[in-house]
Amino acid sequence: MDSREQVEPPVVWAVVDSGIGPLLLAASRGGLVNVVFHAADAVRDRAVERLASRLGTEPVEAPGSPLLAEAIRQFEAYFAGERRDFDLPLDWSLISGFNRAVLRELASGVPYGQVVGYGDLAGRVGRPGAAQAVGMAMGANPLPVVVPCHRVVESDGGIGGFGGGLETKRRLLALEGVLPEPLF
């Protein structure tokens, strides 16, 4: 074990400003483990409690942590329009099974500025007809924005649902050039 591992807490978090409001970013030694939208006060506190319960360790607020530094830099660049892809180690420990398979396919197979239908994504993971299950996987995504669930839409052209709210989804899609910028 090197000296950094001796002093670095197992899970760290910070709240960062973004083009869509405050985001909580949490990381473990394995990588970015959670991104939470609208992370002001009560939402932030519930997210930290939920992480402690699910990971079995108390997350520590540490905005200057080396575990978070690159994630923070890449999020800032993404929201400034200077970055299209995230290149971060990801800790997938908060998700498993079908949901993990769907999210990994989404992360690797749907690039910036493109969208995919729920049914199409189900087919890509070998489960045609499982569009509703894909929707559930999107709702369980612990790593939104990095694992771009905002890029999953309805086959009839509808925007679909979104855990961060439809306005947040519209703003992310507008940032990526899929939708026009809102007028107000």
**C-alpha R_g of the chain:** 16
For residue 37, how far is the Cα from the chain centroid? Answer: 9
Active site residue 179: no
> Of 149, 153, 173, 175, which is the active-site residue?
149
Tracing tokens 């394995």 back to the chain, one arrives at: 30
Write the CA distances from 14 to 61, 108, 124, 167, integer angstroms.
6, 26, 34, 23
Longest dimension (CA), the chain: 54
- Which residues does the annotation mark as catalytic? 149
